[in-house]
Amino acid sequence: MSAKHRYFISGIGTEIGKTIVSAIVCEALEADYWKPIQSGDPDDTDSMKVAGLLSNPTSVMHPERFVLTEPMSPHASAAIDDVSISLEDFIIPDTKNNLVVEGAGGLMVPLNEEHLVIDLIKKLGLPVILVSSHYLGSINHTLLSVEALRSHHIPIKGIIFNQSPHPTSEPIIETFTGLPVLGRIGHESFWDKATVSEYADQIRPNLYAS
Dump pLDDT digits (tens) for 99-122: 999 999 999 999 999 999 999 999
Which fold does the domain 14-136+152-162+179-208 belong to in CATH? Rossmann fold (3.40.50)
Active site residue 35: yes
Give dist(CA 115, CA 123) in Å, integer: 11
Catalytic residue from among 18, 35, 96, 123: 35
Domain ranges of the chain: 14-136+152-162+179-208
Dump pLDDT digits (tens) for 120-160: 999 999 999 999 998 999 999 999 999 999 999 999 999 99
51 by Cβ neighbours in 10 Å (0-12 / 13-18 / 19+) ranks as middle
- Beta-bridge partners for 72: none
Strand residue runs (E) in the chain: 6-11, 32-34, 37-39, 61-62, 66-68, 99-106, 128-133, 156-162, 181-185
Dump pLDDT digits (tens) for 32-62: 999 999 999 999 999 999 999 999 999 999 9
Dump pLDDT digits (tens) for 80-90: 999 999 999 99
